[in-house]
Amino acid sequence: MNRLLPGTRALRTFVAAARHLNFTRAAHEVGLTPAAVRYQIKEIEDQLDIVLFTRSSRSIQLTPAGSILFEAAADALETLQRAAAKARRISRKSEHLRLSVGARFATNWLLPRLPQFRAAYPGLELTFDISDEVRDFDADDVDMAIRFGAGQYGEAIAHRLFHTVVVPVCSPALLRTGPALKMPRDLFAHTLCYVDCKPGGVVWPNWPMWMAAAGIKDFDDSRSVAFTESSHVVQAVIDGGAVGLVEWELVDRDVQAGRLVRLFDVGVRVAPEYAYHLVYPAGGVADPRVQAFREWMLAAIGQQAQQ
């Protein structure tokens, strides 16, 4: 008698549990409670009449039968994911381009320039996958991506856009009402915020690094405030009267518009090999949508460099 196989949702839960060998971590991955994960695993075991895990008071382990099902289920889910992504790309209209881009770049650089793109290409609809994760063009529903890194993305094509320099900025109001900011050491009297991250394992420029570049060796960063996104740093600068370290290339328009003020002529560049890149699969070279966005993007970068 043929037995009904578990559905994809149940298999995804099982694969997460088998990969983590921990129901709590699996629950966090799939958005369920640990009790719900245990229930789904028990349902699969009852449905197939096999034992997937051996359980003790402190750990779980795959049984030989569980290992066989884990390998097959993981392969099947990956195949389905790739097929679904390909189907979505095929079903999209030829006037629709989906771009994967990090929140920092989207908020601070791309979205302010989006009206110019739409004016240049009114027939091309642009939608976004907001993520800093490296996307698999075969498995994920994206046509192009903007990523910060060393430019090595397998067989995909990568165009270097620009490197980045981190500089201190404040609000115009802080200059008028706060403690004086005539020299770098005056920053000691202010709340200092920065982005705490390690893209590709490289430490993002922080206040000790900036102070060292400014020739200050006795800086105590215990009062510095760390954020995970530069957009949060910019908001803290605007709303909270702080001084923030941000990427100059992503805030230069705010400085030109008078919303932010750059302080001092000192910047810290991220590792030289790292930069923003426009990335797309080799098969997209002849795609008119990819061509259009690539041409507009490179032209916009060229205009920015001339400003």
210, 78: one domain: no
Q: Is the pLDDT of residue 193 over 70?
A: yes
Tell me the pLDDT tens digit for each residue of 142-175.
889 998 888 888 788 999 998 889 999 999 999 8
Check residues 203 and 306 and name the one with the higher pLDDT. 203
Q: What is the CATH number of the domain that holds 123?
A: 3.40.190.10
- Residue of 130, 111, 82 lying closest to 281 (CA atoms): 82
Amino acid at 130: I
Distance CA 167, CA 176 (A): 20
296, 159: one domain: yes
The model's confidence at residue 305, banded by pLDDT at 50, 70 and 90, is low
Find all residues with CB under 8 Å of 54, minimum gap 6, and list them.
60, 61, 62, 63
62, 76: one domain: yes
Residue 1 domain flag: no
Q: Token digits for 287?
A: 């795609």
Residue 3 domain flag: no
Look up the domain containing 233 and give its range.
Answer: 165-269
217, 263: one domain: yes
181, 238: one domain: yes
Distance CA 238, CA 168 (A): 13
Number of residues written out for the chain? 307
Q: Do residues 301 and 307 lie in contact, with contact meaning Cβ atoms separated by under 8 Å?
A: no
Q: Is the pLDDT of residue 1 over 60?
A: no
Classify residue 50 by its DSSP letter.
Answer: -
The per-residue pLDDT for 292 is 93
201, 291: one domain: no
**% of the chain residues with pLDDT over 70:** 94
Tell me the pLDDT tens digit for each residue of 30-84.
999 999 999 999 999 998 999 999 988 778 999 999 999 999 998 888 878 777 7
Q: Is 129 exposed, middle or buried (0-12, 13-18, 19+ CB in 10 A)?
A: middle
Q: Do residues 41 and 20 lie in contact, with contact meaning Cβ atoms separated by under 8 Å?
A: no
The per-residue pLDDT for 3 is 66
Identify the three-state secondary structure at position 141: coil
The model's confidence at residue 257, banded by pLDDT at 50, 70 and 90, is confident
Helix axes 34-48, 23-30, angle to 10 degrees: 100
189, 262: one domain: yes
Q: What is the CATH number of the domain that holds 22?
A: 1.10.10.10
Beta partners for residue 162, in sequence order: 276
The secondary element (H helix, E strand) that includes residue 208 is: helix 207-213
Adjacency order of strands within the sheet including 96-101:
125-130, 96-101, 144-149, 275-280, 157-162
The secondary element (H helix, E strand) that includes residue 19 is: helix 8-20
Distance CA 253, CA 75 (A): 47
Tell me how many helices (H) and strands (E) the chain has.
11, 13
